[in-house]
Amino acid sequence: MRAMQGSRFAFGPFVLDPGAGTLLRDDVPVAAGHRGLQLLAALVARPGEILAKAELMDAAWPGTAVEEGNLTVQIAQLRKLLGPAANGGEWISTVPRVGYRFTGAIEELGDAKRQALPLPAKPSIAVLPFANFSNDPEQEAFADGLTEDLITDLSRIGGLFVIARNSTFAYKGKAVDVRAIARELGVRYLLEGSARRAAGRVRINAQLVDALSGEHLWADRFDRGLEDIFAVQDEVTAKIVEALLGRLRAPLPRNRPQNLEAYDLCVRARKLIEGSPQTAREAHLMLTRAVALDPQYAEAHRWLAMNHWMGWVHWGEPIEPNRGVALQLAHKAVAIDPNDAGCHWVLANLLAYERSFIEADAEFAKTFELDPNEADAWATLSDITVLAGRVEDGLEHIRKAFRLNPFPPSWYYLMLGQAQYAAREYEAAVETLRREETYRTSSRRFLAAGLAQLGRLDEARAEVEMFLVANPHFTTRHWVETEPFRDTATLEHFVDGFRKAGLPE
């Protein structure tokens, strides 16, 4: 049996929802770690089959080299969590020297319905990924870049509520049910279309749909020379704004690339930055090439700055020269295009890590003046605000980010869990951080701190042990020196949790 997208699995008193990252026993949530849930999902999706150890480790630690002992520990914890099966045996049996097998009876329940989100007060829209109608799969990046640029252009219109890229791309390649998608994203309008790029020309079809009535408010097709692609984007944006707001509200002009190869490289690279150290290195090569091809392309500078920052903050690369290079690139991006909210957001984040808080606050303010729909910036501001001791404001910022991005990247859950811990909402923090599907293990330190504050020291120690496998050189002192704390009480609260959990001083 192969799992369908969105499937849930029932066995005994349990219901596993891999997509939501939850396990229920008699409708009551069970506190299970992320890796354990990944392993359980792999096993229950193929009941009765033997899954090799390597296959299971790839399911729980994708793209990461881990020792087999980690798998043994996780399986033991799962068995303890699930308890005995109805026949008194184990749900998960060991196949010596080979792997493991799920022995229970499974019922696949299908997709769980997402709760509809309420509509915002202002006109709300989501731009669905444009279909690539070219025969060349290499043109996929072009269609994706067109979609992302339209999202950016519409986001900058203050009178609109615009869903972030990460959430709309969750529907890529799926059959379009406009009413269901609009309900799940909490918007009234959807833009959908297709793009084809060939022989120096671009053909674009686009249509704006009112999901409540099913009415097509606007549709058009464009057949232009490839050099006119950005003029077409501006025209599509203007038509949509006019249809939704009744009059043209043109955003400030954007810096556009002068070299289409640089544009393609940038579109590809920004999907790789947050993946892993290996994909980040690929992104670095692409973005360095893009900057060389087009030295006045602001977005390439912006993402290259972010990639350098990710290197020293998250991937364990040397702080210098990465920190200095990142700041230099971010300043250059803003200088090239002072109207790009994304450039201001990246610079704001870097300035906060430099402890240049007054300038950072000004850059965040400029970000939202230019683009109130910049979901990633709201999530980043949550982090900076919590560490400044304004915890309630931080919680409000991350909630706003989730509303703009209902299918967010995993680091949003890290920001939310951190804010909940700072607010002393330890149960909520543990629940949030245990469902995080993270590409890093950084959430485990906050999870361990939350568990320790609840007095669940055995669970906290287990999380610390797994965190240190991936972060063997971590010390609380170095973390405190790196993070942009502004409030001593908040800093001491995190240090207290780390100490109780047993993280190295």
Are residues 147 and 70 part of one domain?
A: no
Return the pLDDT at 247.
64
Are residues 135 and 83 part of one domain?
A: no
Pick the more confident residue, 241 or 388. 388
As beta bridge partners, residue 202 has: 197, 224
Looking at residues 469-487, what average pLDDT do you find? Answer: 90
DSSP secondary structure, 100-113, as one string: EEE-S--EEEEEPP
Pick the more confident residue, 270 or 351. 351
Angle at 228 between CA 223 and CA 234, to 5 degrees: 95
Q: How far apart are CA 127 and CA 144, in angstroms?
A: 11
Q: How far apart are CA 372 and CA 324, in angstroms?
A: 29
DSSP secondary structure, 89-136, as one string: S-SEEEETTTEEEE-S--EEEEEPPPPPPPPPSS-EEEEPPPEE-SS-
Are residues 240 and 130 part of one domain?
A: yes
Return the pLDDT at 66.
75
Are residues 187 and 100 part of one domain?
A: no
Q: Is the pLDDT of residue 306 over 90?
A: yes
Least confident of 245-249, 371-375, 441-445: 245-249
pLDDT per position as a tens digit, 193-222: 999 887 788 889 999 999 988 899 999 998
DSSP secondary structure, 264-329, as one string: HHHHHHTTTTTT-HHHHHHHHHHHHHHHHH-TT-HHHHHHHHHHHHHHHHTS---HHHHHHHHHHH
Q: Given the structure tokens 């906060």, which residue do they identify?
A: 352
Q: Is 227 exposed, middle or buried (0-12, 13-18, 19+ CB in 10 A)?
A: exposed
Are residues 494 and 412 part of one domain?
A: yes
pLDDT per position as a tens digit, 183-196: 889 999 999 999 98
Pick the more confident residue, 473 or 365. 365
Return the pLDDT at 322.
86
Q: Is the pLDDT of residue 439 over 50?
A: no
What letter would DSSP give residue 407? S
Torsion over CA: 261, 263, 268, 273 (sign):
positive
Q: What's the number of domains the chain is made of?
A: 3
- List Cβ neighbours of 316 (8 Å cut-off, separation of 6 or more): 277, 471, 473
Percent of the chain scoring above 70 in pLDDT: 92
- With respect to residue 355, please indicate whether it lies within any of the assigned structural domains: no
- With respect to residue 309, please indicate whether it lies within any of the assigned structural domains: no
CATH number of the domain encompassing residue 240:
3.40.50.10610
Are residues 233 and 134 part of one domain?
A: yes
- With respect to residue 422, please indicate whether it lies within any of the assigned structural domains: yes
Return the pLDDT at 3.
39
Are residues 136 and 106 part of one domain?
A: no
Are residues 83 and 129 part of one domain?
A: no
Which residue range forms the structural domain that includes residue 449?
A: 408-505
Looking at residues 230-251, what average pLDDT do you find? Answer: 81
Q: Where is 207: in which H helix or E strand?
A: strand 201-210
Return the pLDDT at 250.
64
Q: Model's pTM, two decimal places?
A: 0.76
> Which of 33-47, 255-269, 315-329, 488-502 is modeled with the greatest confidence?
488-502
CA dihedral 150, 152, 153, 156 (to 10 degrees): 150
> Which of 140-144, 310-314, 385-389, 442-446 is modeled with the greatest confidence?
385-389
- With respect to residue 64, please indicate whether it lies within any of the assigned structural domains: yes
Q: Is 173 exposed, middle or buried (0-12, 13-18, 19+ CB in 10 A)?
A: exposed
Are residues 214 and 180 part of one domain?
A: yes
Pick the more confident residue, 470 or 337. 337
Q: How far apart are CA 69 and CA 220, in angstroms?
A: 58
Least confident of 106-115, 296-305, 470-479: 106-115
Q: Which residue among 245, 260, 276 closes a domain?
A: 245
Q: Given the structure tokens 């797994």, which residue do they identify?
A: 466
Are residues 74 and 163 part of one domain?
A: no
Q: Given the structure tokens 């299970």, which residue do they identify?
A: 32
pLDDT per position as a tens digit, 123-171: 999 999 998 877 676 788 888 989 999 999 999 988 899 999 989 998 8
Are residues 156 and 106 part of one domain?
A: no
CATH number of the domain encompassing residue 61:
1.10.10.10
CATH number of the domain encompassing residue 438:
1.25.40.10
Q: How far apart are CA 154 and CA 469, in angstroms?
A: 44
Return the pLDDT at 466.
86
- With respect to residue 11, please indicate whether it lies within any of the assigned structural domains: yes
Looking at residues 462-486, what average pLDDT do you find? Answer: 90
3-state helix, strand, coil in the chain (%, to 5): 55, 15, 35
Are residues 104 and 207 part of one domain?
A: no
- List Cβ neighbours of 379 (8 Å cut-off, separation of 6 or more): 397, 398, 401, 405, 408, 411, 412, 415
Alpha helix (H) residue ranges in 139-276: 140-155, 165-168, 178-185, 229-245, 260-269
